[in-house]
Chains A and B, each alone.
Chain A
Amino acid sequence: DIQMTQSPSSLSASVRDRVTISCRASQTIATYLNWYQQKPGKAPKLLISAASSLQGGVPSRFSGSGSGTEFTLTISSLQPEDFATYYCQESYSTSPTFGQGTKVEIK
């Protein structure tokens, strides 16, 4: 199975900060990489697919980049509604795996 490793596991940031979350795959996955946002008690929400394709309705402050084994989710100016847990997920294999999550907390 492909292992997905996110860093950091958690971070504290202030409103309007620029936030970067990294995701590393244990083998090359081209751009078969998705990012989800999850708020407490809610289902995950797809933010970005295929490493960099922003889903409809997702604010443009979110962006994704990378290919192969190294990927990044960037929030250019953190807003109060962005405090949540973020997961990467590979969709390369027939047994897709998620990263362990990155919790973004208020500083």
Chain B
Amino acid sequence: EAQLLESGGGLGQPGGSLRLSCAASGFTFSSYDMNWVRQAPGGGLEWVSAVSGSGFKTYYADSVKGRFTISRDNSNHTVHLQMNSLRAEDTAVYYCAKDIGTYGDSTMDVWGQGTTVTVSS
């Protein structure tokens, strides 16, 4: 059974940094694009970033472009989200999610339980 487990959330300072991680198991990790999706308190879902199976292609929402960096380590079955220049509006639950197929169309069939990021001084 495919599973994802996020970690690294917590309290971050405005202008500061946090690094989220997502550990994957139960599927051929390197074959699938991986995504980060966030949900602000009481809000809807917002796609944040994606990385191709090889790690060579990355994609970002305009709201985080230039501040966040997605990466993956296929040998350790993990995906990371480096979050720099944090803003209050980055406060959210961050979910890691797997693409359903190997063709990278951002249909997400497996989700982690989420990790909470709070940006506040």
- Interchain CB contact under 8 A, B114 and A43: yes
Q: Mark A49-73, 1 if CB is under 8 A from B, else 0.
A: 1100001000000000000000000
Chain A binder among B18-26, B82-90, B101-109: B101-109
- Interchain CB contact under 8 A, B44 and A43: no
* Contacting residue for B108 out of A1, A46, A50, A94, CB 8 A: A46
Chain A residues touching B, majority SS: loop
Q: Which residues of chain A are near B95, meaning CB under 8 Å?
A: 43-44
Is A97 interfacial (CB-CB < 8 Å)?
yes
- Contact count band on B: 20 to 34
- Contact count band on A: 20 to 34
Q: Which residues of chain A are near B106, meaning CB under 8 Å?
A: 89, 91, 96
Given contacts A32-B105, A95-B59, A95-B62, contact A87 B111 (CB under 8 A): no
Shortest Cβ distance from B104 into A: residue: A94
Q: Which residues of chain A are near B111, meaning CB under 8 Å?
A: 43-45
- Interchain CB contact under 8 A, B107 and A49: yes
B107 to chain A, nearest CB (A): 5
- Interchain CB contact under 8 A, B59 and A91: no
Given contacts A1-B62, A43-B113, contact A98 B45 (CB under 8 A): yes
B59 to chain A, nearest CB (A): 5
- Interchain CB contact under 8 A, B59 and A87: no
Is A100 interfacial (CB-CB < 8 Å)?
yes
Q: Which residues of chain B are near A96, meaning CB under 8 Å?
A: 47, 106
Within 8 A of A (CB), among B30-84: 37, 44-47, 50, 59-62
- Interchain CB contact under 8 A, A87 and B109: no
Q: Mark A1-44, 1 if CB is under 8 A from B, else 0.
A: 10000000000000000000000000000001010101000011
7 contacts between A and B (CB under 8 A): A36-B108, A44-B45, A46-B100, A46-B109, A49-B100, A50-B107, A99-B44
Q: Which residues of B contact A (CB under 8 A)?
A: 37, 44-47, 50, 59-62, 95, 100, 105-109, 111-114
Q: What 10 pairs between A and B have smallest CB-CB spacing?
A: A43-B111, A96-B106, A98-B45, A91-B106, A91-B105, A101-B44, A46-B109, A49-B107, A91-B107, A96-B47
